[in-house]
Copies of this chain bind each other. A is one copy, B any other.
Amino acid sequence: MTSDTSLTVPTRYVETAGIRFAYRRWGTPSGVPVVFLNYFSGNLDDWDPQVTDGLAAEHDVILFDNAGVASSSGETPGTVAQMTRDTVAFCDALGLKKFNAVGFSLGGMIAQQMALDQSHRVNRVILLGTGPRGGEGMTFTELSSEERADPAQFLLATFFSPSHASQAAGRAYLKRLAARTRDRDRPVSPNTAEAQLHAIREWGAVPSSNRYATLQNLKHPTLVVHGAKDIVVQPVNAFILAQHLPDAQLIMYPDSSHGAHYQHADLFLQHAKLFLRA
């Protein structure tokens, strides 16, 4: 185990296929690494230290910016399929033969696609606040890349419920995100946010037939975690995942929105450890 933490681990770079990927890696370098796949407009600094350091106590943890995101070079593609290929390129560059994929929201879409495309390399999957391809209300017609103007307000309004307890948890989360003061990541550019929105909407388009048919092919042990009051990705999508994936465990937290796993970070950490240990 290294002495690094989420606050001190330096940002490193690896170049492949013309893209220079920014990443941070620390934790317990034994067993299968855990690769984190981030949400719309999220960068390396947006992963909750409580969660990543908690998992790093037992796992080799890897955060990265996908192509064109924040400190990574290249162009952000407009489809989940290409984002998945970019993620594969990054994993290849690090020489990861097998890994656990933790995907939040857009990252959860990539994690699903990854499990389908690179079935043999993916060990276990954790899907946070996400939904299946063509899920319920997943075209996000109300979301715009301009909502990121006030990131703190955006996060409090979408990741947390209006309740006093949830908003307090949200402020604590924002404080944890701010704790890393040096070597912070760059913000996500408007162009990247636009491309990500395009990818999310393409993923959310309801197919004309066999709506959830591909889910039966995602046979990996999967943990689906969702907020019971998620206003970004409707909770029913997590239920649909649990109904259609052959080996998915579903955990839904009360009084919580898109950031349920941050609001209930302690409990989520224990649930995730149990799942990854199995």
Residues of A at under 8 Å CB distance from B?
Answer: 228, 235-236, 239, 242-243, 245-255, 267, 270-271, 274, 278
B248, B250, B253, B254: the one within 8 Å of A246 (CB): B254
B235, B236, B250, B254: the one within 8 Å of A252 (CB): B250
A-B CB proximity, top 10 nearest: A250-B252, A239-B239, A247-B254, A242-B252, A228-B242, A251-B251, A248-B254, A270-B274, A249-B253, A249-B254
Determine the distance from Cα of A278 to Cα of B235 in the docked complex, in whole angstroms: 24
Other than A249-B254, A250-B251, A271-B271, give 18 A-B pairs with Cβ distance below 8 A.
A228-B243, A228-B250, A235-B239, A239-B252, A242-B252, A242-B254, A245-B254, A247-B255, A248-B254, A249-B251, A249-B267, A250-B250, A250-B252, A251-B251, A251-B252, A267-B274, A267-B278, A270-B274
A-B contact pairs, 9 of them (CB 8 A): A235-B239, A242-B252, A245-B254, A246-B255, A247-B255, A249-B251, A249-B252, A250-B250, A271-B271
Determine the distance from Cα of A236 to Cα of B271 in the docked complex, in whole angstroms: 22
Determine the distance from Cα of A216 to Cα of B245 in the docked complex, in whole angstroms: 30
Determine the distance from Cα of A271 to Cα of B270 in the docked complex, in whole angstroms: 9
Determine the distance from Cα of A248 to Cα of B249 in the docked complex, in whole angstroms: 17
Determine the distance from Cα of A246 to Cα of B274 in the docked complex, in whole angstroms: 26
Q: Which residue of B lies closest to A224 (CB)?
A: B252
Determine the distance from Cα of A248 to Cα of B254 in the docked complex, in whole angstroms: 5
Question: What chain B residues lie within 8 Å of A249 (beta carbons)?
Answer: 251-254, 267
Q: Which residue of B lies closest to A221 (CB)?
A: B254
Q: Which residue of B lies closest to A222 (CB)?
A: B254
Q: Which residue of B lies closest to A165 (CB)?
A: B247
Determine the distance from Cα of A228 to Cα of B245 in the docked complex, in whole angstroms: 10
A120 CB to nearest chain B CB (Å): 21
A156 CB to nearest chain B CB (Å): 21
Decide if A248 touches B228 in the complex (CB within 8 Å).
yes
Determine the distance from Cα of A236 to Cα of B240 in the docked complex, in whole angstroms: 10
Question: What chain B residues lie within 8 Å of A248 (beta carbons)?
Answer: 228, 254
A164 CB to nearest chain B CB (Å): 13
Determine the distance from Cα of A252 to Cα of B243 in the docked complex, in whole angstroms: 9
Q: Which residue of B lies closest to A274 (CB)?
A: B270
A128 CB to nearest chain B CB (Å): 15
Determine the distance from Cα of A249 to Cα of B261 in the docked complex, in whole angstroms: 12
Question: What chain B residues lie within 8 Å of A250 (beta carbons)?
Answer: 228, 250-252
